């Protein structure tokens, strides 16, 4: 097994551990079936994507492994990524507290819908990875990068963020928490700020991107924005 694969597996294991701790410690119990189901859905989906990239696109896997505030080159993006990471963790801590104190009464079918949104959001991200090998975790332009106009990129300009939005909406619901939706709002706002800065960077540094923006009008949500 290569160092890259070990790093990818290690990163996945560490993230699953962090999410589990962020859920079960605030919940004060392991008897939180919604959390177990979510972790299973999320882990299987992300593991499947990781295995696919290991076999079909290790270069993209390497780009995705180098993620987080430290990997960013611009100071503004380091701040944005730091805020996003904080909001992301709160999105799990709050449902754990919600489960402990019984703040929400979420019907079973809503929990199921939440898990479906998580799975579909990650599947949509997977389609983006299949279509665009230059989907880096940081804002940059590869040496041979070109404009992608097929697949999800024919619908919106930032399909990976669209998939992330779908997943983020599903997470609190899958965890049985209405209150868990609160940190989703600032997290999405941070992503939008990042997206707008990324567009400015791409217009300046990626040939043909300005023309692509005129071809595909919507950034994340078709017919809306």
pLDDT of 68 over the 70 cut: no
pLDDT of 73 over the 80 cut: no
Comparison of pLDDT for 137 and 223, the residue scoring more = 223
Res 72: pLDDT: 55
Give yes or no for a contact between 150 and 76, defined as CB atoms under 8 angstroms apart: no
Domain boundary assignment for the chain: 3-215
Res 137: pLDDT: 67
Res 5: pLDDT: 84
Q: Domain 3-215 maps to which CATH number in 3.30.70.3270, 3.30.43.10, 1.20.120.1630, 3.40.50.300?
A: 1.20.120.1630
Give yes or no for a contact between 124 and 159, defined as CB atoms under 8 angstroms apart: yes
Q: Cα separation of 78 and 71, whole Å?
A: 8
Res 49: pLDDT: 94
Mean pLDDT of 153-180: 95
Q: Model confidence at 70, in pLDDT bands (50, 70, 90)?
A: low
Q: Cα separation of 13 and 7, whole Å?
A: 10
Q: Model confidence at 177, in pLDDT bands (50, 70, 90)?
A: very high
| Interval 97-138: pLDDT, tens | 999 999 999 999 999 999 999 999 999 999 999 998 888 766
Q: Cα separation of 165 and 188, whole Å?
A: 7
Q: Write a three-state SS string for 77-125.
A: HHHHHHHHHHHHHHHHHHHHHHHHHCCCCCCHHHHHHHHHHHHHHHHHH
| Interval 193-203: pLDDT, tens | 888 988 888 88
Res 144: pLDDT: 73
Q: Model confidence at 61, in pLDDT bands (50, 70, 90)?
A: confident
Burial class (CB in 10 A: 0-12, 13-18, 19+), 214: exposed
Q: Average pLDDT of the chain?
A: 89
Contacts of 217 (CB under 8 A, 6+ apart): none
In three-state secondary structure terms, 146 is coil
Q: Cα separation of 104 and 140, whole Å?
A: 41
Beta strands in the chain (DSSP E): none
| Interval 30-42: pLDDT, tens | 999 999 999 999 9
pLDDT of 71 over the 70 cut: no
Give yes or no for a contact between 115 and 174, defined as CB atoms under 8 angstroms apart: yes
Q: Cα separation of 88 and 187, whole Å?
A: 7
Q: Model confidence at 69, in pLDDT bands (50, 70, 90)?
A: low
**Tokens found for residue 138:** 């940081």
Q: Cα separation of 87 and 171, whole Å?
A: 13
């Amino acid at each position: 097994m290569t160092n890259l694969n070990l790093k990818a597996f290690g990163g996945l294991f560490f993230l699953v551990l962090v999410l589990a701790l962020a859920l079960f410690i605030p919940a004060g119990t392991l008897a939180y079936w919604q959390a177990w189901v979510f972790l299973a859905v999320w882990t299987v989906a992300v593991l499947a994507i990781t295995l696919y990239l290991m076999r079909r696109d290790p270069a993209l896997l390497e780009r995705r492994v180098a993620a987080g505030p430290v990997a960013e080159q611009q100071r503004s993006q380091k701040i944005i990524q730091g805020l996003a990471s904080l909001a992301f963790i709160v999105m799990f801590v709050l449902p754990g507290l919600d489960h402990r104190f019984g703040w929400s009464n979420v019907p079973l079918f809503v929990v199921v819908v939440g898990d479906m949104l998580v799975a579909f959001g990650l599947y949509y991200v997977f389609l983006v990875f299949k279509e665009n090998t230059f989907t880096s975790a940081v804002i940059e332009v590869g040496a041979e990068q070109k404009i992608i106009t097929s697949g999800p990129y024919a619908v919106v300009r930032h399909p990976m963020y669209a998939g992330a939005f779908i997943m983020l909406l599903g997470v609190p619901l899958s965890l049985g928490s209405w209150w868990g939706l609160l940190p989703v709002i600032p997290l999405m706002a941070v992503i939008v700020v990042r997206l707008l800065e990324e567009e400015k960077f791409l217009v300046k540094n990626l040939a043909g991107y300005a023309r692509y923006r005129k071809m595909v009008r919507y950034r994340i949500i078709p017919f809306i924005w």
